[in-house]
Amino acid sequence: MKFTKMHGLGNDYVYVNCFEEQVDDAASLAVRVSNRHTGIGADGLILICPSDLAGARMRMFNADGSEAEMCGNGIRCLAKYVYDHRLAEAGDEFSVPGEETFEASLQIETARGVLTLGLDIDDDDKVSRVCVNMGRPILKADRIPVAIGAERIINEPIEVAGKELVMTCVSMGNPHAVFFCDDLNEIELGGVGPLIEHHEIFPNRINAHFVKVQTPNEFTMRTWERGSGITIACGTGACASVVAGVLTGRCGRKVLAHLPGGDLDLNWCEEDDCVYMTGPAVEVFTGNWPE
């Protein structure tokens, strides 16, 4: 089976072109290829599938084999693959309302629906940077979902390992709990992350993010991803964090997010209520999986 290793800010995935390859048991394959000691090594597996609705369809599996609804860094890389390998024809230019214009566009089908992406094309006719219209954030508790007696989860206390934390919850097609703090170095992410992910109030588990706001237009974050553990970047989590920052009065709608793997430009646009995320996409290497 041919595969391609790609990453967005170090959030790395194994990609399989299902226009050409067949994958019978994606969940099991995700576990094997993601293993950093006995496999290829990745945060998960992403299948690039044909679509009747868009240029391609994305299916994303975490390192533990569970299928996720969305992946912000993953979809940027998938769009690069689709364009660079000519799996679909690019559309016209793409613009963030009142902001930057990208010279080409693609539509990708996801479990969240069809998303539109803008593409920066370099001199070699390859994609170097991608902007994703991530859609409107989902804020109703029962749709995130969070099993708690409130319509929205904003500055809501949660008890974890005998300590009270304060969270704001947002879905970007997949669920996120955002915790603002003053010192990221004090967070024992490997200990608290799985406790939050598997907390009883999250029926579908959840991604956990700890965020320090430096200025109204800049924050730094660390992530525990549902099904993958500590990752050095999470695109949907960064989008959820800017929404949480606005809802709690901590930041503005346009933010530069610093993640351990690099930076993302975020814009929760007032004109259409959609979150736009812009960042790089990199192809690392290709190979053949012997199974």
Residue 291 predicted with pLDDT over 90: no
Residue 98 predicted with pLDDT over 90: no
Active site includes 239?
no
Task: Round to whole Å and give the CA distance between 90 and 79.
Answer: 10
Residue 114 predicted with pLDDT over 90: yes
Question: What is the pLDDT, as a whole number, of residue 25?
Answer: 97
Q: Among 77, 169, 234, 274, which one carries the catalytic annotation?
A: 234
What mean pLDDT is reported for the chain?
97
Q: Structure tokens of 165? A: 């934390």
Question: 15, 76, 50, 96: which is closest to 238 by C-alpha?
Answer: 76
Name 283's bridge partners.
6
What's the sign of the alpha-carbon dihedral 278, 282, 287, 291? negative
Taking residues 18-23, report their average pLDDT: 97
Question: What is the pLDDT, as a whole number, of residue 228?
Answer: 96
- 213 backbone dihedrals φ, ψ, rounded to 5°: -90, 120
Residue 40 predicted with pLDDT over 90: yes
Domains of the chain: 2-133+279-287 (3.10.310.10), 141-271 (3.10.310.10)
Segment 256-268, tens digit of pLDDT: 999 999 999 999 9
Task: Round to whole Å and give the CA distance between 245 and 263.
Answer: 17
Task: Round to whole Å and give the CA distance between 102 and 289.
Answer: 35
Which pTM was predicted?
0.95
Segment 47-91, tens digit of pLDDT: 999 999 999 999 999 999 999 999 999 999 999 999 999 999 999
Taking residues 168-180, report their average pLDDT: 98
Active site includes 49?
no
229 CB neighbour count, 10 Å cutoff: 17
Segment 215-250, tens digit of pLDDT: 999 999 999 999 999 999 999 999 999 999 999 999
65 CB neighbour count, 10 Å cutoff: 18
